[in-house]
Amino acid sequence: MAWELILWLFAFVSIIALIGLSAYQLICLSDLEFDYINPYDSSSRINAVVIPEFMVQGILCILFLLTWHWFPFCIMAPITYYHVKLYSRKKHLIDVTEIFRLLNGEKKYRLIKLSFYCSIFIIVIYRLVTTAVLLLIEEDDGTLQSGIF
């Protein structure tokens, strides 16, 4: 049962990282829209965090599959498939020359991903708390039965 608590702690940290990376990309696109930064800086900042975001999300999805947590896996599998499809078609990076033409679509895509990660965050928090409480209850039952206190 302790391994499950470690799994949910890892998922908690991973989802926070994914939320942070998505918010960072959305902020970069908003700064570009309001002309605070130039297109080259914006695209290079976003492109620098795309691959780590894909990797963290893929590792988390595979981890849910390997530990037989079907509900989180089934929720995360479509976006993992979409990330793999974008990466295999070489469309995962933002092009500097076409960033203004694709700005509204990219902002909507990042906003949808951010809301998706926030909804998964709620599920992960719930599972983390329930796992921790069940682990504490089992630990308390063990100490009462052994007659230590």
What is this structure's pTM?
Answer: 0.89
CA distance 118 to 87: 23
102 lies in a domain?
Answer: yes
60 lies in a domain?
Answer: no
CA distance 51 to 82: 13
Res. 148: pLDDT tops 80: no
**Number of domains the chain contains:** 1
Tens digits of residue pLDDT in 69-84: 999 999 999 999 999 9
Tens digits of residue pLDDT in 86-141: 999 999 999 999 989 999 999 999 999 999 999 999 999 999 999 999 998 887 76
79 lies in a domain?
Answer: no
Please report, to the nearest 10 degrees, the dihedral formed by the alpha carbons of residues 104, 114, 76, 8 taken in order. 170
Quick one: pLDDT at residue 149? 46
114 lies in a domain?
Answer: yes
Task: Give the DSSP letter string of 48-111.
Answer: HHHHHHHHHHHHHHHHHHHTT-HHHHHHHHHHHHHHHHHHHTT-SSPPSTTTTTTHHHHHHHHH
Q: Which domain holds residue 10?
A: 2-53+94-141
86 lies in a domain?
Answer: no
